[in-house]
A and B are shown apart, each in its own frame.
Chain A
């Protein structure tokens, strides 16, 4: 089966975009008493406490679970333009 190079590039681009963006997610601590996220540092598993309202990026190694109070931040807020 022959695949045109242009189509291959399109597929590659799509996969890279979907792969990269799917792994980049921000989570906000919505638990009133704060949240715990974990990270591996120097091969050791570490727990770190966060304040309510804190946002972390899980692409960088943080592990945030919804059962620990983390909620995915879906997007930036829709805002009206020209407010000032």
Chain B
């Protein structure tokens, strides 16, 4: 066996750079070459992050000249005409014997008052003919939803290779597969005025074989579900009684994917696999162990550790039970020496305040965050020690502190939809134990984020007293930083924040047939989402907190008041320009 996976030139466990540095310094390794490297890195990467010294911590979780103003035309987007009538779902021969596909989702509609039909067409790779009865996984994320709040729908294509599904505005990730081919993932935005159409060409896949075993006994584990989950969550196969499995669909267009194994009573495990027609490699998650590699069908052995079950009861002042509290556990374990996977579970407290979390790994530590309306968030650190059950008893919550305020631009006008982030100033805990499995990483309580409403107002509920840095930011860059101290006495603080005079405000206008278009949505992006505002009764809009370091992309969505037609358009504009967007002038 050779060491197959050596992408990292210096394998570094996430979060362990400082620990390694300390070790190196302690050994007296300060050669002149390191000095040169230090100089080079310092110049290339900028200042170092804030030092992380041990200490007490808060209890809450946590030169191109600008172009002249553009004139943009809005164009009518006609709704697409369905090309093929949907056929009733017919039967499909089962997948290979070890496969156990989850039941197909009913034809549900994830829609609100404004929804669009997404049409997916799946084609066979070689023939380019419609792939009838192929499976299509649609993972939908509503606008503003957290990354782990997706909804997964599994459908089959009709006899013409089509799947149609209605969605409310959000983000959609789509993959498709049949017996031995797969395609995707493809990502598409769903808007109220958009009816996306996707075409997925299936490509041949590689089979992957392996065995799932109990980490403590080495015995094979039957009934475990195995998926290539960086490709599709729903495409699972089930291990036989001896723990072996055959997954027929490892995408060949990818350099590497992650296999995930789950089994009731055990924690989930993720394995990184590189596979191609030339050969395969299973790199070790630790630096000490060699990768396993070979040719032909990849063979992967995956060991599961017992499941950790956490119970407890959420109580408030005087021991009164708190029903409906949200309890979230999070830990990170190594998949590669430079990659960590998140192990998470969540639950709500019942009427008597009790809760139960299951499915976590018992060999790593977790942070447990408790959130309940009217109370301060609380984060607890739990060590990983292979105990299968952990009763935390009563978890006390304190009354919350509230921080609210308004963001104004340099002219005193409220700023809509600007990011406000509250970062606790306390030092991180040094008590988190790392291991060859556990990265010790945590993200709970790193910061609190919200966006201003149309009146420029923001709210941070669920806070504990402490010191914070409040950042008002656009495009990942802070426009304003304000230090905040919340004392135990001030239950509700109000801030009035005015953006500095140097920040720019993009002022524009949207018109249709020469008249102002009110209520149109203007979405601004640059290297990602910046913000969105609506036009006022005179068709004007303002986006404050910008700079002149690059042009911004503007997307406008509006409705013609006379015909009800949906209108969309895109343009780019510098912040100091005053774009006038005229409907129909193409």
| Residues of A in contact with B (beta carbons under 8 Å apart) | 9, 12-13, 15-26, 28-34, 39-41, 46-57, 59-62, 66-67, 73-81, 83-84
Contacts and interface: CB of A to CB of B under 8 A. Distances in A.
B229 interface: yes
Interface string B239-270: 00000000000000011111000000000000
B38 interface: yes
A33 B440 CA distance: 25
A72 to B, nearest CB: 9
Given A20-B17, A20-B41, A74-B446, A84 B340 contact: no
A25 to B, nearest CB: 8
A72 B47 CA distance: 15
**Which range holds the interface residue count of chain B?**
35 or more
- Residue of A30, A60, A73 contacting most chain B CB atoms (<10 Å): A60
A61 to B, nearest CB: 5
A34 B344 contact: no
A16 B38 contact: yes
Interface stretch (B7-15, B505-513, B515-523, B565-573): B7-15
Contacts of B380: 79-80, 83-84
Given A18-B47, A51-B341, A77-B367, 10 more contacts: A13-B25, A23-B44, A49-B231, A50-B258, A51-B342, A54-B335, A54-B341, A75-B428, A79-B57, A84-B383
19 contacts: A9-B30, A24-B17, A26-B441, A28-B443, A32-B171, A33-B185, A46-B255, A49-B230, A59-B12, A67-B528, A73-B14, A75-B49, A76-B429, A77-B379, A78-B424, A79-B428, A79-B442, A81-B57, A81-B429
B17 A49 contact: no
Contact of B147 (A22, A29, A60): A29
A60 B11 contact: yes
B92 interface: no
Nearest to A44: B255
Contacts of B230: 34, 49-51
Contact of B254 (A19, A49, A76): A49
Interface string B4-42: 001111111111011001000100001000110111111
B445 A30 contact: no
A55 B339 contact: yes
B409 interface: no
A11 to B, nearest CB: 9
Given A12-B30, A19-B39, A66-B476, A32 B145 contact: yes
Nearest to B444: A77
B127 interface: no
A67 B57 contact: no
Contacts of A39: 7
B62 A77 contact: yes
B308 to A, nearest CB: 12
A79 B40 CA distance: 35
A74 B444 CA distance: 11
B94 interface: no
Interface in B30-79: 30, 34-35, 37-42, 44-50, 52, 57-62
Contact of A78 (B44, B48, B58): B58
Nearest to A32: B141
A22 B38 CA distance: 10
A79 B173 contact: no
B475 to A, nearest CB: 9
Given A32-B141, A77-B443, A18 B48 contact: yes
Contacts of A76: 15, 52, 428-429, 432, 440-442
A14 B231 CA distance: 44
B337 interface: yes
Nearest to B257: A49
Contact of A79 (B141, B229, B257, B432): B432
Interface string B213-232: 00000000000000001110
Contacts of A48: 254-256
B30 A13 contact: yes
Nearest to B149: A32
B9 to A, nearest CB: 6
- Residue of A13, A34, A55, A76 contacting most chain B CB atoms (<10 Å): A76
Contact of A84 (B44, B173, B256, B392): B392
B40 A19 contact: yes
Given A28-B443, A48-B255, A55-B342, A79 B381 contact: yes
B429 A79 contact: yes
Interface string B406-440: 00000000000000000110111101100000011
B187 A33 contact: yes
Nearest to B260: A51
A54 to B, nearest CB: 6
Contacts of A34: 173, 185, 230
Interface string B193-229: 0000000000000000000000000000000000001
B367 A61 contact: no
B168 to A, nearest CB: 14
B455 interface: no
Nearest to A74: B446
B552 interface: no
B342 A54 contact: yes
A44 to B, nearest CB: 9
A61 B5 CA distance: 13
B146 to A, nearest CB: 8
A60 B337 contact: yes
Contacts of A83: 368, 380-382, 392
A51 B260 CA distance: 11
Nearest to B272: A48
Contact of A12 (B9, B35, B256): B35
Contacts of A31: 147
A35 B378 CA distance: 30
